[in-house]
Each structure stands twice: as C-alpha cells, then as structure tokens.
Structure 1
C-alpha cells in the first residue's frame, strides 16, 4: 500500500521540504522538494513567527499527511552513552536528561537525539550503546509546537541518524562523510544499523580535511563506498581527500535511495535534498 510522508529539514539559514511516497515494497519516490529562506537561526529570533506561517501555508496542500522534522544546526554536541537494554522510551529520556546534567550547563536549553549504535565487540551485557546528539532546544521546540497546530508531527530529530540509515533502503554497507563549516563526521551503517560514528568540531578547513583523511585511513570501512555530503564538500576538497587516502569517494545523491518525479527537485543543494528525503524515509520506515 502506498504511503506519503512530508519532511522539513532545517539547517542554520534555510528550510527544505520534501514529499516522499513509499510503494510498500521497499522503494521510494520523491514527488516534491523545495527550499525556503529561513532556518534554525531565524527560528531562534524575532523572525520565527513569520517563518512558521510561511511553512504552515506551504504544508497546507498536504495537511492530511504526517510530517517529520530534521534539525541541522551549525554544530552538534555528541555524547557517547550506555543505557540499560530494553528500557522504555520514557526511562531512556530520563537517563538522557541525567547524562545531560553531567555534560552541559543549562540543560533546559538543549534538546537531544538518542541515536542507537550497534554493539561494540567488548560491550558489557545488559546495556545498549547510544550516541546522544545535543542541539538548541528553543528553535526546534518553537517550530514543532507551531506545526502541531496544523499538522501531524510524527518524528523529529537530528539529521545525522536519518542520513546514516539510508543503507536500510539497499541493505548494503554505506559510509557517509559529512563536511560542515564547523564540524566533520563519519558514520558507517549496514542495512540501516549504525556501527560506527565519529564527530569532530573544526575551526578551519585544514582541520576538517585532517579529520576526513585520518578517519578514511583508519575506520573499519571494509570496502564500503564512501559518500560525501555537506556544504564544505567541494569538488576540490573531495579530490584532495581521495588523493590522500587512495579511496574513491563520491557525492551523496538521491540515487539509489530514492527516485524522483520529473521536475520535483527544486531544493537549494544536494545536501538539503538528501537531509529532507532521508528524514521522510526514516519516518516511513517507522523511525
């Protein structure tokens, strides 16, 4: 049975909205994707209401379809954690709040995404390996509350997990290298299950490329294709990284994860498109 899902992907300065249809046989089609000005920076300031109204108006055409929210702030704050196996969502949330109290000042200013990781080889019994990804609460909560007045918001979180779990579509192993202005990250997943994740805050381009080269020469890639995404992933940067690591790397694009109807993609960049589409796919797969 065909299902449709709307996703809104918020980065620092813009919002990309995508509509994805599932055929029910593991394949997906993007029917719409476009970007509007204004993102998390605006949602945290005096222009928040204007952006919310614009987005609500845009979504009115698909008011009966569920919405997923993907947040990509300028930087994330990751925290490895071990949580008791089989814990309820409510208990995990309580434990995450306790962990946040040790890690952050003013924890009421932060939202966290609880990302599941595959067990480590020497992992103790009775616990699950997680990565908590912290990002600013105020803009995320504001837009979620505004959209809930008109829409069914069924999933929300940081973009990192949704992008990494694209491997669920093909079942193959996928390595995603993210190159952002203020951080770099590498995830490796197989069939939607994330086995490896590293994050590194950066202040300049040389640090970003050093992280990429170090990770791609030491991480357990085992021949997995490396796909690169992010606004700092220029052709020249990718060429240098590929040359220094002797690895073939390529941009992370829609194919083979999802097909697109003719003229559907009007987003500002491949990165914006893939973040919105991956959030929609993750929601369609049950989050």
Structure 2
C-alpha cells in the first residue's frame, strides 16, 4: 500500500519538493519525485514575493502535492538555550517562550519560534533543557496564507528541524556542519533530539571558515569524528571542507540522507542543501 509523504523545503534562493513512498513491500522508503525551482524566502521578502509564491504553488501542483510538510529558511535565526519544567503544559511553554522573546527583541510580537527538547540532562530531574529557535513571523505567515488554498499544510518547521529529527532514524549521533553565506551552524543530535547546537550569523561570507573551525574545535567533538557537511559555501568553495578537515582533525563527509538512510530512487540536484532537507523532512514525517 502506497503511503506518500510530500515535503517542501523553501530555502533562501531555491525551493525543493521531495516525495517519498513509505509503504513499499520492501520496507525501504522510495523517492518517487524530487523537483527544484529558483525561488525562496529572500524573494518572499522583496517586491517579487507574489511571483515567488506563484512559482512555489506551480511546483506543488506539478508534483501532485495535496498535503505537505513545509520546511523553510527564515532570513534570520536567533537560537536560545533555556531550561523549562519537564511537565510544563503547552500553554505555559508558549508563555515562557513569549517571555524569552520579550527579553531579546524590541518587537517580540513579530517573532515566532520552534522549540526542541534536548538530550542534555538538566541540573534537576524535573527540569528539561530546550533549544528555542526564534525567527520573524512574516515569512511563515506569508507561506501559510498563500499556500493554504492549494495544499493541506501538515506541518511548518524551521530548516534546522530535519537535520535534528533525521537522527531518530540512525543508530549513531548525527553531526552536521552547515556553511551558508548568511550563517554557520553545527548540529549534533541523537534520537531525534539535539545534543548540541551552535549557530553563528555571518556579516561576511569570508568569516565562514573561522566560525566553522571554532565550532569543530570547541563543541567537544572528538578528533576523528565523522561530521557531515552541507551548505552553499561547501559546494561553491571546493577546498573549504578540505581546509576544515585538516585544521580540525575531524573526518568531513558530504551530507547525503539518501545514503545515510539507504533510500531507493534517484535525485536531481541531489547535492543541494534544499534537496537534502526536503528529503530529510519527508523521511521523518511519519
């Protein structure tokens, strides 16, 4: 019995829709479709946002998407590590996140967030360490508003979420270093929850190597660890990964969820960050 899951990754400059069938008799998920277009969240912030949404809508229709898990890359991300009561109610949790936003921003009501319970133990058993990712609400509101009449939006998550949740399908910790012109982050996760998350916004893309190396050397990652690398800068600057590997002593490998999870099916543009996250999101939807 076919169980198709559609995921749409809206990156800064490109959007990818991946379709995975989870119901094949073999038990192995199969990629049945994967397409990309040149439209992303940067365009949604400009005067061309309507054209960008039309492109994304056409892509969803071409892939036969009626129900979709959305993943998006906001223009800016503000991570906060906090401790909350382990049994906190959803209402109290939202209230606490609003308090955190008010402490950070002059206009807290214009921000949304995504919260991840961490594996790292808190000082007391009744407490839970959490990672909160804050971002401007405008992007996600635009996406929901203009796609809700076209598809059923099952979920709408920050682009970091698939990198964390994919670890639930693996037997080992998943370590991903992403280098984009706008940011560098190192995500270490296991069991679908973060163990470590370090994030650096960039004002100059030339600073990416410095902050990437800082994360590799200061995150407690043992020498020789296998770390998967992704991001525009990794693909555009072919020697960046080689330099980081030599300086850090870690083994850097291309992030490829198809190989990691032994998927069947071929990809177009299989090495793009948007494709990687779209596939990861479609994999972890069930």
For 1:278 and 1:123, locate their aligned partners in 2 and report how far apart those are by CA, in whole Å. Answer: 32
For 1:258 and 1:71, locate their aligned partners in 2 and report how far apart those are by CA, in whole Å. Answer: 25
Instruction: Tell me the SS of whatever aligns to 1:235.
Output: coil
Aligned to 2:263: 259
For 2:116 and 2:46, locate their aligned partners in 1 and report how far apart those are by CA, in whole Å. Answer: 28
Between stretches 230-239 and 103-112, larger displacement belongs to 103-112
For 1:201 and 1:52, locate their aligned partners in 2 and report how far apart those are by CA, in whole Å. Answer: 26
Aligned to 2:93: 92
Query: For residues 195-227 of structure 1, what are the alpha-carbon distances to aligned partners after superposition, in whole Å with 9 as ceiling and x for unaligned?
Result: 111112223345322222232233233564200
For 1:169 and 1:27, locate their aligned partners in 2 and report how far apart those are by CA, in whole Å. Answer: 12
Query: How many pairs were matched up?
Result: 281
Aligned to 2:203: 203
Aligned to 2:162: 162
Aligned to 1:186: 186
For 2:7 and 2:92, locate their aligned partners in 1 and report how far apart those are by CA, in whole Å. Answer: 27
**Cα separation, partners in 2 of 1:45 and 1:153, compared to 1, 3 Å:** same
- Is 1:20–1:28's contact at 8 Å kept on the other side of the alignment? yes
Aligned to 2:240: 237
Say yes or no: does 1:149 pair with 2:143: no
Structure 2: which 5+ residue stretches go unaligned? Answer: none
Aligned to 2:139: 139
For 1:157 and 1:239, locate their aligned partners in 2 and report how far apart those are by CA, in whole Å. Answer: 31
Instruction: Tell me the SS of whatever aligns to 1:56.
Output: helix
Aligned to 2:128: 128
**Cα separation, partners in 2 of 1:242 and 1:125, compared to 1, 3 Å:** same
- Is 1:29–1:258's contact at 8 Å kept on the other side of the alignment? no
Matches for 1:1-12 after TM superposition, within 5 Å: 2-12=2-12
How far the C-alpha of 1:236 sits from its partner, in A, is: 0.3
Q: How high is the TM-score relative to the length of structure 1? A: 0.88
**Cα separation, partners in 2 of 1:244 and 1:19, compared to 1, 3 Å:** same
Between stretches 272-281 and 26-35, larger displacement belongs to 26-35
Query: For residues 149-180 of structure 1, what are the alpha-carbon distances to aligned partners after superposition, in whole Å with 9 as ceiling and x for unaligned?
Result: 22221111111121122222222111111111
Aligned to 2:272: 270
How far the C-alpha of 1:68 sits from its partner, in A, is: 0.9
How far the C-alpha of 1:193 sits from its partner, in A, is: 2.5
Aligned to 1:79: 80
Q: How high is the TM-score relative to the length of structure 2? A: 0.88
For 1:68 and 1:228, locate their aligned partners in 2 and report how far apart those are by CA, in whole Å. Answer: 24
Say yes or no: does 1:34 pair with 2:35: yes
Aligned to 2:15: 15
For 1:214 and 1:56, locate their aligned partners in 2 and report how far apart those are by CA, in whole Å. Answer: 40
